Amino acid sequence: MNFDLTEEQIAVRDAARDFARTELLPGVIERDDKQQFPAEQIRKMGELGFMGMMVDPKYNGGGMDTVSYVLAMEELSKVDASCSVAMSVNNSLVCWGLEKFGTEEQKEKYLKRLATGEIIGAFCLSEPEAGSDATSQRTTAEDMGDYYLLNGTKNWITNGSSASVYIVMAQTHVEKGHKGINALIVEKDMPGFVVGKKEDKLGIRGSDTHSLMFTDVKVPKENRIGEDGFGFKFAMTTLNGGRIGIAAQALGIASGAYELALAYAQERKAFGKKIAHHQAIQFKLADMATQIEAARMLCLKAAFLKDQGKDFAQAGSMAKLYASEVAMNVTIEAVQVHGGYGYVKEYHVERLMRDAKITQIYEGTSEIQRIVIARGLLDS
């Protein structure tokens, strides 16, 4: 077992850390307060190669490994989880799915621009009645010969109004259940496609989360990903990798809160000494650091297995489950370490606490992760 990072991985981590501090930190509180999408920051992330890190260079990507992606996600998420979730969706769900399962024409038309951040993508699976039960797709894609006629609604879509390309799961053969679902590439300017209201959220408020409505949208047959009926398998396979990204996001949120709490504990004085010298605070810091390190190991293991071409589904679910729970635990304790100041926006930890909660919900709730993990255990 080798726990040393390569020189390239260290360079990626350091570049992400520097970008987070110099480009994301200024204005992050204001963007959260105003629910402002970080368009300029994401544009710069694209220029630096963060929006298509794992994409083959022949499609304008960085050609990096998943470990490097996890390291970058952690550093960016320490400061601004709204930026990192846009990066995660574009990398893990849209670019990866297109590169692995898309046609050469689809890669040329869409992937090359997505990988550079010239445009960004969205992954559209959830519906008003199809969240954790993703098999219950009500959005339909009627086969009309040369095209599909798309009708329905999608909910909770990250990059909802800012994306140009949307991968939409829709039911074509109702009688086949989940085996009748297709994955279609939809462009924002297709007639009949409407972006709904922006959700007013607890956390990741800079991320633009929207509902989407499709009314008789004509989607060309060449925009289908994979064979007829491949959509559900496409979604589940893609989400396996996406969970690594969200696990890394949760890890970053926890790490950012811990670093702030550690620094504050060494400055703030109470009862005649720095609070870091009080055992009650020391125990909190020790628990936080230990939980974060365990979460980091789970994230890196899942990334390593993916890079080795091995089955990473269970490892990804374990990483996502544990890292998201650590994010909640650590951010709550970080607020507590700050005392009254922790409740004030200026000190950042209350925002990180709010951001942490969503990591237990999206791309598979903690309950769904436990089901995935248990099935893996019982089938082994």
By annotation, the residues acting in catalysis are 363
CB burial of residue 243 (10 Å; 0-12, 13-18, 19+): buried
d(CA 214, CA 211): 10
d(CA 38, CA 82): 8
Q: Return the axis-axis angle of helices 231-265 and 66-77, rounded to nearest 10°.
A: 50
41 close to 80: Cβ distance less than 8 angstroms: yes
Q: Which residues contact 233 (CB under 8 A, 6 or more apart)?
A: 226
Strand partners, 177: none
Q: Residue 159 corresponds to which tokens in the numbers above?
A: 């990059």
d(CA 292, CA 183): 36
Evaluated on CA atoms 221, 223, 227, 231, the torsion sign reads negative
Q: Which residues contact 7 (CB under 8 A, 6 or more apart)?
A: none
